[in-house]
Amino acid sequence: MKYLKKLCVMLLVLMLGAGLASCADPAAAVSHEPGRMEAHFIDVGQGDSTLIICDGKTMLIDAGDDSQGTAIQNYLQKQGVKRLDYLVLTHPDSDHIGGAPVIITKFDIGQVFMSDYTKDNKTYEKLVKALEYKRLAYQTPEVGSEYALGAARVRILGPAGKYGNPNDASVALMIQNGDNRFLFTGDAQEDAEEDMAELSGDLSADVYHAGHHGSKTSTSEVFFERVRPSCAVISCAEGNSYGHPHAQTLNTFRMNGVKVYRTDEEGTIIAVSDGKEIRFDVPASETWKAGEPTGSASSGKKPADGTGDPTGAEKGGMASAAEEPSYILNTKNKKFHRPECDSLPAVNRTESSESRESLLSQGYAPCKRCNP
């Protein structure tokens, strides 16, 4: 009997020392432990919502779609959150702002950061009305500005320019706690990523919240080389119609030894930083299973609120098949694309019927996604 008791005590000590993976309820209240930062990647299905807690200060990045508002509210309350020091809504797609009206009306909020890109639809209208109801004004933070979140520092990386689509206009930020760095880029795509890489200096991060739910339109080669994360978290729904995460993104992570954590496989994921090390409450995924596009993705129908991967056909202005140009040029980053490429620029764009050799001689480089 004594042996069994001693064995139980030893097992308990080992479980407590093993870290969060052994804890049934790793964060029952807002942590006030000095230097401890928690990142809760909340499972909201096909959408984003991340709670950051550091020294009793809190930030919520995005709020899922309108079916998730109450679920996020309940999750925050379970963590002991009564006030949000910051609410960051990266961009106005419904899978990022839909649940925000509930959060705004149910919690005291210090500052609201939002993209300067607006939408004319009911989801955005409900958000604006909720802000007005609480007499809150939002601001689009300037690139390079910094904010304190307890002992952690938040640095704004984007939007680094004016863009013709909501994804590239995402508010992007780096959160640093001691030596640990967490990167969030919303749904920013290749053009916005390249602007961040050019303007924001050191982008290296330990944890990268994979852009656009693991879509191949984000995590471009240039950007990834600047970030070089050791861990990536992908927020998406199991069996989502967009095929997230895409095989191209997963291959990038796998070939570079990045540990991947996925809400579609593991539910809500919690990462805890003590300023030196980062621990996750679940093991890294080992499936490397890419999504399979279904529904609107295969039928060619545009998602109701533009939350999917934008294509040339969605953007409009394309020539008919008989008149289709040879290439689409991005006059800003000097890249050329096939007309059907899913990473076409929304601005700084022109059509060209010149030959590939001619474009190369003018200093244009081929897009590495569509390989024109």
Q: State the average pLDDT over residues 35-46.
A: 97
- Three-state DSSP state, 10: helix
Q: Is the pLDDT of residue 335 over 50?
A: yes
Alpha helices in the chain (DSSP H): 2-17, 69-78, 94-97, 100-106, 122-133, 190-199, 221-227, 247-255, 263-266, 296-299, 312-315, 356-361
Contact 49, 42 (CB under 8 A): yes
- Give 227-237 pLDDT, tens digit per residue: 999 999 999 99
Residue-level pLDDT at 290: 96
Q: Compare 42 and 31 and report the one with higher pLDDT.
A: 42
Spell out the long-range contacts of 318-324 with Cβ–Cβ below 8 A and sequence spacing 24 or more.
Answer: 319/351
d(CA 153, CA 135): 27
pLDDT of 32 strictly over 80: no
The one-character DSSP state at 204 is: -
Query: What is the average pLDDT score of the chain?
Result: 85
**What's the pLDDT at 200?**
85
pLDDT band at 23 (very low <50, low <70, confident <90, very high): very low
Q: Which of 34-48, 108-122, 131-145, 300-314 has the lowest mean pLDDT?
A: 300-314
The first and second tokens of residue 129, run together, are 């009305």
CA angle 180, 182, 184 (to 5 degrees): 170
Q: Which two tokens stand for residue 259?
A: 């540990």
The DSSP string of 99-153 is THHHHHHHSEEEEEEE-S----SHHHHHHHHHHHHTT--EE-PPTT-EEEETTEE
How far CA 336 is from CA of 249, 347, 359, in Å, comes to: 21, 13, 8
pLDDT at 13 > cutoff 70: no
Nearest to 249 by CA among 234, 269, 239: 234
Q: Is the pLDDT of residue 315 over 50?
A: no
Which pLDDT band holds residue 221 (cuts at 50, 70, 90)? very high
Instruction: With beta carbons less than 8 A apart as the criterion, state whether 266 and 282 touch.
Output: yes
